Amino acid sequence: MNWQAWRDEFPILSRTTYLNSCSLGALGRRAQARVATFQEEWSAWGAAAWYELWMGRLAELRRRVAALLGAAQTEIALQPSTSVALAAVASAVDYRRRPRIVVAELDFPTLAYQWMVRPDVEVVRVPSDDGATIDPQRFADAVDDRTAILATSHVFFTTGAIQDLRALADIAHARGALFLVDAYQSAGQVPIDVHRDDVDILTTGPLKWLLGGPGLAYLYVREALLEALRPTMTGWFGARDQFDFDIARFEFKDDARRFELGTPSLPSVHFALGGQEVIDEIGVPAIRERNRVLTERLVAAAQAAGLRLRVAPDADARSAIVMIADADPAGAVAHLAERGIIVDWRPGFVRISPHFYNTEAEIDRVVEELVAWRS
């Protein structure tokens, strides 16, 4: 793979050292071209573009996302955000016999919030012993036969640690609970196969590693669950006979689109298709190998410079999110930004997230500048 050649796809890389892909993936020329086409179509066709072109684009996106996740196209719904996707799922579950949801304390908060607002549900947070990972046994101790869903991340946004989905699926299913995965920080950088790993429900979106920008998210629901999961929030995109406009009758679509609500953001769909095209062309396994090289170089350089890291201890469980401890992370981020290096911070840590389009030289430079800032 000629990684250097891919850099031309992303104009931001010629202006900055961009190491913040876990917040927002770089905007590529293909995404820009897709949106330019959308605008031309809007201008040329008006509303006719909906039927002739844009419904097909929604199907193209569902098809590409299904292939990315190892799912069937009929198991994918488009959503405006993962928060909405989770709210739709949360609305579809019967909590009377199973009023508990198990999450991890390292998960992104929106995952727990969906259930914290429900008076009929108790949220259990599984603790981390080392601050970076969670031992699957901790989940096994927490999931019981009153648990409706074990819901946790594939990759933790705070530490980059990758969880073993198959092990967690087995823990959930042994107790009769559903297994839900927040894959926002893994899709596009770590391979996913929902059928192989026995995942019931998964949310993700194009914003980060999929290079597709904000305004959209993806929901996978296992086919065998679709009939039983009947959301109590819905809209005309979830209706079987959407274009009958019958206000007296509502039936859900048979496939995962039953979780869709209203008109999707078409600019976002086109940005997402452009990013997804790049990811599909390179392939996630190749991206994973490239990101592993960059991540391990970053970890080794930071450790050699005496910096303290918060990452998974086992290299195989590390992804391209590296947390470096700093007493003043906001100050460090501002210092680096003045030097054209874009990273991010979370309390107590500078967060550096390279993607396949970064270079070894950029990795070395961020560590050098971080060391200079601290001295």
Judged by the rule CB under 6 A, the positions of this chain that interact with ligand PLP are: 81-83, 108, 110, 153, 157, 182, 184-185, 205, 217
For residue 371, what are the contacts with CB-CB under 8 A and spacing of at least 6? 305, 307
Q: Closest distance between ligand PLP and the C-beta of residue 217, in Å?
A: 5
**Nearer to ligand PLP (CB atom), residue 90 or residue 367:** 90
**Nearer to ligand PLP (CB atom), residue 81 or residue 303:** 81
Angle between helices 284-304 and 266-282 (to 10 degrees): 80
Strand partners, 346: 349
Q: Closest distance between ligand PLP and the C-beta of residue 310, in Å?
A: 16
- Region of 233 (left: φ > 0; alpha: ψ -120 to 50; beta: rest) is beta
Q: Closest distance between ligand PLP and the C-beta of residue 103, in Å?
A: 12
Strand partners, 323: 310, 351
**Nearer to ligand PLP (CB atom), residue 82 or residue 133:** 82
Task: Go through 40-75 and write b for each residue having 16 or more CB atoms within 10 A of its CB, e for each that does not.
Answer: ebbeeeeeebeeeebeebbeebbebbbebbbbbbbb
**Nearer to ligand PLP (CB atom), residue 9 or residue 295:** 295
| Alpha-carbon gap, residue 208 to 367, rounded angstroms | 23
Q: Closest distance between ligand PLP and the C-beta of residue 346, in Å?
A: 11
Q: Closest distance between ligand PLP and the C-beta of residue 151, in Å?
A: 11
Return phi, psi of residue 261, to 5°.
Answer: -120, -80
Q: Closest distance between ligand PLP and the C-beta of residue 134, in Å?
A: 14
Q: Beta strands of the chain (E only): which ranges?
A: 17-18, 76-79, 100-104, 122-126, 147-153, 178-182, 201-204, 217-221, 309-310, 322-325, 341-342, 344-346, 349-352
**Nearer to ligand PLP (CB atom), residue 114 or residue 373:** 114
Q: Closest distance between ligand PLP and the C-beta of residue 85, in Å?
A: 8
Say if residue 191 is exposed, middle or buried (CB neighbours under 10 Å; 0-12, 13-18, 19+).
middle
**Nearer to ligand PLP (CB atom), residue 6 or residue 79:** 79
Strands 309-310 and 322-325: antiparallel
Q: Closest distance between ligand PLP and the C-beta of residue 204, in Å?
A: 8
Angle between helices 29-45 and 266-282 (to 10 degrees): 140
**Nearer to ligand PLP (CB atom), residue 54 or residue 157:** 157
Q: Please provide the distance, in angstroms rounded to a whole number, between the alpha carbons at the two ends of the chain.
A: 38
Q: Closest distance between ligand PLP and the C-beta of residue 188, in Å?
A: 12
How many other CB atoms sit within 10 Å of the CB of residue 321?
Answer: 27
**Nearer to ligand PLP (CB atom), residue 71 or residue 85:** 85
**Nearer to ligand PLP (CB atom), residue 9 or residue 185:** 185
Q: Is 359 helix (H, G, I), strand (E, B) or coil?
A: coil
